[in-house]
Structure 1
Amino acid sequence: MSDTGHRGRMLLTGGRGMVGCNIREHARAAEWDILAPTSAELDLTDAAATAAYIAHEAPDIIVHAAGRVGGIQANIANPVAFLDVNTAIGRNVIMGARAAGVPRLINLASTCIYPRTAPSPLAEEMVLTGPLEPTNEGYALAKIMALRLCQYIRTETPDLQYKTLIPCNLYGRHDTFDAAASHMLPAVIAKIHEARTAGRDTVEIWGDGTARREFMYAGDLAEAVLRAAGDVDALPDLMNVGVGTDHSINAYYAAAAAVIGWNGQFTHDLSKPVGMKQKLCDTSRQTAWGWTPQTDLQAGMAATYQFYLERLSS
């Protein structure tokens, strides 16, 4: 007899996004009966519809991975949507869960919730200790609201295990490679692949390339989420999920070039915005929880590039 779904029913929001797709295709997903409605099936910005859906389906756990996401350009261009849509979605899912008495919820935040001047490594207790990075402040405010809402609910109703994971920057299979909407690493992969295909010998980097970022393979985050879902009680209230080491933007470009097999030169546009100088997670809580990501940058980049090539050819 198959043991599929033996842990119970999971409602996964954002099941078609990068994180959601990686969760659904992970081997441990077979332990759950996963509901992953599309936005056409369930509009999470509609509070009444969201509450009714959660009450009707009565999941044992909700993993909240939905949201309007994008890179630095998208955040600068659409601050209203990044604040409004993400605030509405977070509130509707979390309050819908509470109204239906869903016992466990894992809320996914982002390291952009940390103050822009916070010293690295970024520790969980630094949330709300200073001004946010202006380029993604709307998104960050929405994510802070959701994590605080989970904390307040636990304070009022300790039986409800509503916890928040704060992943570092992600990349991987099912990412978006469209330059206007994508995050940094998929954009880098697409840019270098296009340069190689077109026979160009230079690729431009925004800024001087010395800003440092921590990127984790999305398949590793999926593993952490599914492990957490199996024992939410043991999870800290708030926990960074990261690699614990970072690289310069220049180093990521070089790693992508190596995987793609492009041998050109990089130029730097010093007039472009670069965001925070460094954003590295403190992973002490994660280490105490007993987990570390297993995919190194080379392997993760190779898998992501392979996915990109499959996308191009389909």
Structure 2
Amino acid sequence: MADTSVKISARDVERHFGIDGKHRLHALGPFDLDVNEGEFVCIVGPSGCGKSTFLRILAGLLRPSNGSVELFTNAATETPVSMVFQDYSIYPWKTVERNVSFGLELRGVPKTKAVAQAHDWLERLGLADFARAYPDTLSGGMRQRVAIARALTVEPEILLMDEPFAALDAQLRQVMQDDLLEIWQSDAGRTVVFITHSLEEAIVLGDRVIVMSARPGTMVRSVDVPFPRPRTPELRAQSEFNDFKNELWDLLKSEVAHYMAEIRAGTGDTHAAVGPSPAEPED
């Protein structure tokens, strides 16, 4: 019987792309991971190591080629898992309000109630004044706020975030990190799995950082973040913060070097020809 504190359990998870031996790409694994209830876990690793593939397996968007994933969610929860993508994935023909309420409406929640619940999150994310606006009138940061509000409005037990701030400039990225940190710390500790290339982002947000190897991605190390909660943005200025960042980089740099060596040898971008479709990234 599983530990009742475990929310996500992945065992020997692998993912291959391609249909024959000659063009078969081993993108991920075997990869094991347990995530506890209320834990914020960040996953870092070189490009192409299978981070996003693993997240999509957790979301049910991809099937593992081998291994198993179990999500221990409440049977009464109508939307146990919600996902935020890097490219916003919001509907350009819907207003901000209707984008955020859409998941609730799909579930059959009356429109008035769905909109009221959406407005609660729009208020928390500083979007209340833009409820009737369309996405093409918003900045990148505001569009990502809409995507986060939509994911949280359905009250998932597990929130999956795939490099949600990667497309933002450095200043806006830090603002969004700080906003998410505040929301998560005040939101009863929702379970989060967060993919990022930024060690700073992983340290600011995470309870634990998973360092992955170059493709096929396996776990190099699981490292607890040593800074207590609640955290504030001022954490970045502490010397201990940079010391820990350097410790993580020592774990990661050889994997990045391995990835770069493949690129220089002309083997690192094989997935461009034989890998997944845009709906099945293997980063």
Question: TM-score, normalised to structure 1's length?
Answer: 0.28
Between structures 1 and 2, the one with greater helix share: 1
Question: TM-score, normalised to structure 2's length?
Answer: 0.30
Between structures 1 and 2, the one with greater strand share: 2
